[in-house]
C-alpha cells in the first residue's frame, strides 16, 4: 500500500509539473469587467469557452452591482466600500463568488490584462452622464493596475422595442434612437478618456436583429436572452480582445441550432469590423433549411456518371480515363469547387532544423525540417517527422496536417514550441498546450508497426479564418493589383493541399523515407483538403479521409447534414468563390464527390465515418466509395467490394477502396488508426 501511495504522489507531482510547464508557456489572459447585470450577461458565460476552444487560457472576472452606474462606481471607489459581488472563472472554467468586495481589492486580485468599464443601461446613451464620473474613475482604476493593462469601454445594447424598462423613456422608447445614442456616447467617452478599446456589443446585438432572429435577443426586454443573446456578445468580446475571427469558432451552446450560431458569430464579427454602424445580415434574413438527419427526406437525385465524358461519350478503358475523363473532372473541381492552385515555388528549398536519433526513449528519430517557400526564407512551414529506429532502409510513412501545432501531437519536449513571431503570423496570442492533441496521433504505435509519421501545422500555410486571404500563402502569388484570389482560384482547403505537395518535394530528397509509399490522411476539414491533395498529386500512394463530410467524401446531392450552403456560409474561405453559386442548388453541380474519390484511382483510398457524426453524412461518404468503384474496375482492381453499408465497427478492408463506420463521435481515434495501419500494410508494405 505504501508503495502504491508513493507512486501516486509521484504521479501528482509529475502532473503538477506538466500543468505548470504548460501555463508557463501559455500566457494566461486575464480579463475583468467592472459593471452590472449587463457585464454579467457579457462575460460570465461563453467567453471562457470560446477562448478555450482556440487554446487560449483565460481568467475572467466580473465585479458588479445590479444597475450600477459609473457615478456609483466612482462613489464606491472614493469610499472603498465593500458592496460588490465578485465572480471569477478560473483556468478550469469553474466559477467562484465572493461577496462584500471593494473595487480596490478586485483590481489587486490578478495581474489583469484587460479591464472594462460601462455605464448603467438607462444612461448608456447619455454622454453627459459619462462626463461627470468616467474621467476620475478611469484615473483611479489606472493607478491600481499594472501599466500593461489595457482599459476598455463596453458599448452596451439597446432595449427590445417592446421593453418596459423605465430607462427606455430617456430615448423616447425607440430602439434605434437608443442604439445610436449609445454608439455616440461611448465614442465620445473613448476619445475623452483615451481608452482605445471599445467592445461593440450593442452593434453586435443590433446586427443580429436584422437577421431572421429579429427583435428576440432579450429575455425581459433589456437583459440578454440566455442563449443567442449572451452568446452573441461573448463572441464580440472574444474577437475584439483576441483579434481572431470568431466565425468558425467550434464552441457553441448545445441547444443552439446551426442558424443561430451563424447569426451570432457573424453579427459579432461585423460589429468588430464596423463598430459604429449596423450591418444588415442580408444572407440571414431567413433561416437555412433545417438540417436534415432523416434518410426519408433525402431528395431524389441523379449523380453525374463518372465514366461519361462531357460530350456524352462513354469511357471504356483505363487509358481513356487517364487521358480524357480524369483531366475533365480535375478542371471542373479546380474551377468550381476548390480553386486552381499555382505551381509550387521555384525557390522551394529545405533545411533540417533539428534531429534527435534517440527520441521517444530510443524508439524513433525525430526531425524538424523547414520547407522554405521563398528565397528570402521569410515564408516557410515546419514539418515534424518521426521515423522508427528499427528499420532497414527507407520506410513507408503516414503524413497529415495538424490542427493545433506540431508540439500538440505529442508531449515530447524536443518538439519546438512556436515562437512569438510565428504565433503572430498565425494570428494567435497563445498556442494550444504541448501534447493536447496526442490522442489523435499514435506516434509510438506507428513506429512499432514500421511506419514513419510526418505533419505540419495548418497555419504555416494558411491560418483557418477569413481575413480576405492576406494572412497565408495566397499573397505570394497575387498578380499586380490583385488583392484576393479570383473566383476560380484557391481557397484555404486547396492551399493546405498545395502545402502537402510542397512537403512531398522534401520527402523525395530524404533517403530515410520511401517517398513511393506515403499515405496521406486528414480528419474533418483537413480530410477535405487531403482528398483534394490526393486527387491533384499522384505521388501520394494512399489517401485516407476521416469524417470529411461535405466537400470531402460525402455526396453533395444528398443534402444530408452539412450542405454546400452550410459549409460556404460558415467557412467562407475554404472553397473557391465559384462554389457559392451552388448553395441550395447541389443538383446543378457539374461534379459530385464520388468523382473526387475516382480521381485518386488506381491508388488505394480509405473512407472512414463515425456513427454519431451525422453532420458528415456517413452514408453519403460510403456511397462515394461505391460510385467511384467503376473507375477502379477499369484498372482491373476491386473498388469498394460491398454495395450495402457495413455494420458499425465492421471495417471493409479487402478492396482498393476501404471503408468503416465506427461507434462514437466526430473524432479520429485508435480504432480508426488500427484500420488504417491494416489497410496500409496490404498496399504499402508489399516490397518492405
Cell of 168: 427606455
Active-site residue, from 144, 165, 666, 688: 666
What span, in angstroms and rounded, lies between the C-alpha atoms of 563 and 155? Answer: 36
What span, in angstroms and rounded, lies between the C-alpha atoms of 300 and 297? Answer: 9
What span, in angstroms and rounded, lies between the C-alpha atoms of 103 and 64? Answer: 9
Output the CA torsion sign for 453, 459, 465, 470.
negative
Cell of 162: 417592446
Q: Are strands 95-101 and 84-89 parallel, antiparallel or unpaired?
A: antiparallel
Q: Where are the alpha helices (DSSP H) in 47-102?
A: 47-53, 70-79
**DSSP-assigned beta bridge partners for residue 385:** 367, 454
DSSP state of 401: E
Q: How far apart are the first and last CA of the chain?
A: 48
Helix, strand, or coil here: 42?
helix
**DSSP-assigned beta bridge partners for residue 489:** 340
Q: Is 609 a catalytic residue?
A: no
What span, in angstroms and rounded, lies between the C-alpha atoms of 551 and 575? Answer: 9
Backbone conformation region of residue 448, classed left if phi is above 0, alpha if psi is from -120 to 50, else beta: alpha
Distances (CA, A) of 298 to 57, 557, 563: 42, 9, 12
Closest to 251 (Cα-Cα) out of 437, 81, 48: 48
What span, in angstroms and rounded, lies between the C-alpha atoms of 246 and 465? Answer: 8
Q: Where are the alpha helices (DSSP H) in 298-407?
A: 318-320, 326-333, 359-362
Q: Where are the alpha helices (DSSP H) in 508-650?
A: 525-536, 564-570, 593-598, 618-634
Active-site residue, from 524, 545, 609, 629: 524
Spatial strand order in the sheet of 542-546:
349-358, 364-372, 380-388, 452-457, 395-402, 513-523, 542-546, 605-610, 657-662
Do the Cβ atoms of 265 and 67 come closer than 8 Å?
A: no
Helix, strand, or coil here: 185?
helix
Distances (CA, A) of 687 to 396, 504, 600, 602: 10, 20, 21, 18
Do the Cβ atoms of 652 and 662 come closer than 8 Å?
A: no
Closest to 521 (Cα-Cα) out of 510, 513, 509, 531: 531
Cell of 191: 476619445
Cell of 48: 471562457
Distances (CA, A) of 522 to 136, 388, 549: 56, 22, 12
Spatial strand order in the sheet of 150-154:
95-101, 84-89, 58-64, 29-35, 114-117, 150-154, 197-199
3-state DSSP helix/strand/coil % of the chain, to nearest 5: 40, 15, 40
Q: Is 16 a catalytic residue?
A: no
Residue 302: which residues within 8 A CB-CB, separation 6 or more? 557, 587
Closest to 403 (Cα-Cα) out of 551, 248, 549, 243: 248
The H-or-E segment that residue 518 falls in is strand 513-523
**Helices 258-273 & 201-209, crossing angle to 10 degrees?**
130
List, by residue number, the catalytic residues.
524, 666
Amino acid at each position: 500500500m505504501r508503495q502504491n501511495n508513493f507512486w501516486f504522489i509521484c504521479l501528482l507531482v509529475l502532473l503538477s509539473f506538466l500543468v505548470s510547464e504548460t501555463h508557463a508557456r501559455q500566457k494566461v489572459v486575464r480579463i475583468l469587467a467592472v459593471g452590472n447585470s449587463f457585464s454579467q450577461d457579457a462575460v460570465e458565460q461563453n467567453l471562457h469557452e470560446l477562448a478555450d476552444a482556440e487554446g487560449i487560457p483565460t481568467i475572467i472576472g466580473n465585479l458588479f452591482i445590479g444597475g450600477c452606474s459609473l457615478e456609483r462606481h466612482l462613489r464606491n471607489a472614493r469610499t472603498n466600500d465593500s458592496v460588490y459581488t465578485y465572480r471569477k472563472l478560473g483556468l478550469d472554467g469553474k466559477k467562484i463568488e465572493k461577496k462584500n468586495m471593494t473595487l480596490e481589492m478586485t483590481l489587486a486580485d490578478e495581474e489583469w490584462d484587460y479591464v472594462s468599464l460601462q455605464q448603467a443601461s438607462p444612461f448608456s446613451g447619455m454622454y453627459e452622464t459619462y462626463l461627470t464620473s468616467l474621467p476620475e474613475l478611469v484615473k483611479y482604476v489606472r493607478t491600481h493596475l499594472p501599466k500593461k493593462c489595457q482599459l476598455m469601454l463596453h458599448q452596451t445594447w439597446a432595449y427590445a422595442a417592446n421593453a418596459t424598462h423605465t430607462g427606455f423613456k430617456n430615448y423616447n422608447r425607440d430602439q434605434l434612437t437608443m442604439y445610436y445614442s449609445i454608439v455616440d456616447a461611448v465614442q465620445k467617452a473613448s476619445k475623452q478618456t483615451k481608452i482605445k478599446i471599445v467592445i461593440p456589443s450593442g452593434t453586435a446585438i443590433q446586427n443580429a436583429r436584422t437577421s431572421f432572429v429579429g427583435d428576440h435577443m432579450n429575455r425581459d426586454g433589456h437583459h440578454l436572452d440566455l442563449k443567442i443573446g449572451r452568446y452573441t456578445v461573448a463572441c464580440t468580446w472574444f474577437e475584439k480582445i483576441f483579434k481572431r475571427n470568431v466565425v468558425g469558432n467550434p464552441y457553441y451552446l448545445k441547444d443552439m441550432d446551426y442558424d443561430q450560431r451563424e447569426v451570432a458569430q457573424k453579427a459579432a464579427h461585423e460589429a468588430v469590423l464596423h463598430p459604429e454602424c449596423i450591418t444588415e445580415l442580408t444572407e440571414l434574413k431567413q433561416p437555412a433549411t433545417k438540417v436534415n438527419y432523416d434518410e426519408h427526406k433525402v431528395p431524389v437525385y441523379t449523380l453525374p456518371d463518372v465514366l461519361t465524358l462531357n460530350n456524352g461519350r462513354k469511357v471504356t478503358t483505363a487509358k481513356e480515363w487517364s487521358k480524357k475523363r480524369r483531366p475533365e473532372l480535375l478542371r471542373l473541381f479546380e474551377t468550381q469547387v476548390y480553386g486552381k492552385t499555382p505551381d509550387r515555388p521555384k525557390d522551394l528549398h529545405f533545411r533540417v532544423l533539428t534531429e534527435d536519433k534517440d527520441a521517444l526513449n530510443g524508439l524513433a528519430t525525430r526531425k524538424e525540417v523547414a520547407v522554405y517557400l521563398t528565397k528570402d526564407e521569410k515564408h516557410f512551414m515546419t514539418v515534424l517527422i518521426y521515423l522508427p529506429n528499427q528499420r532497414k532502409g527507407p520506410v513507408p510513412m503516414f503524413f497529415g496536417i495538424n490542427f493545433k501545432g506540431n508540439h500538440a501531437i505529442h508531449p515530447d519536449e524536443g518538439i519546438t514550441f512556436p515562437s512569438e513571431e510565428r504565433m503572430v503570423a498565425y494570428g494567435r496570442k497563445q498556442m494550444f498546450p504541448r501534447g493536447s492533441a496526442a490522442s489523435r496521433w499514435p506516434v509510438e504505435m506507428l513506429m512499432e508497426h514500421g511506419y514513419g509519421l510526418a505533419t505540419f501545422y495548418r497555419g504555416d500555410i494558411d491560418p483557418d479564418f477569413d481575413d480576405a486571404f492576406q494572412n497565408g500563402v495566397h499573397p505570394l502569388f497575387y498578380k499586380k493589383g490583385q488583392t484576393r484570389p479570383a473566383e476560380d482560384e484557391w481557397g484555404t482547403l486547396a492551399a493546405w493541399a498545395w502545402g502537402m505537395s510542397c512537403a512531398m518535394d522534401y520527402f523525395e530528397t530524404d533517403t530515410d523515407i520511401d517517398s513511393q509509399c506515403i499515405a496521406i490522411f486528414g480528419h474533418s476539414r483537413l480530410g477535405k483538403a487531403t482528398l483534394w491533395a490526393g486527387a491533384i498529386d499522384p505521388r501520394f500512394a494512399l489517401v485516407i479521409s476521416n469524417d470529411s463530410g461535405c466537400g470531402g467524401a460525402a455526396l453533395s446531392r444528398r443534402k444530408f447534414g452539412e450542405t454546400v450552403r452550410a459549409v460556404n456560409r460558415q467557412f467562407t474561405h475554404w472553397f473557391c468563390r465559384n462554389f457559392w453559386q451552388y448553395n441550395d442548388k447541389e443538383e446543378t453541380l457539374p461534379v459530385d464527390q464520388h468523382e473526387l474519390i475516382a480521381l485518386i484511382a488506381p491508388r488505394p483510398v480509405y473512407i472512414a465515418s463515425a456513427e454519431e457524426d451525422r453532420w458528415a453524412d456517413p452514408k453519403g461518404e460510403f456511397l462515394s466509395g461505391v460510385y467511384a468503384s467503376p473507375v477502379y474496375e477499369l484498372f482491373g482492381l476491386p473498388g469498394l467490394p460491398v454495395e450495402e453499408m457495413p455494420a458499425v465497427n465492421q471495417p471493409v478492408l479487402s478492396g482498393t477502396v476501404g471503408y468503416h463506420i465506427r461507434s462514437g463521435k466526430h473524432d479520429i481515434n485508435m480504432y480508426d488508426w488500427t484500420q488504417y495501419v491494416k489497410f496500409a500494410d496490404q498496399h504499402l508494405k508489399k516490397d518492405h
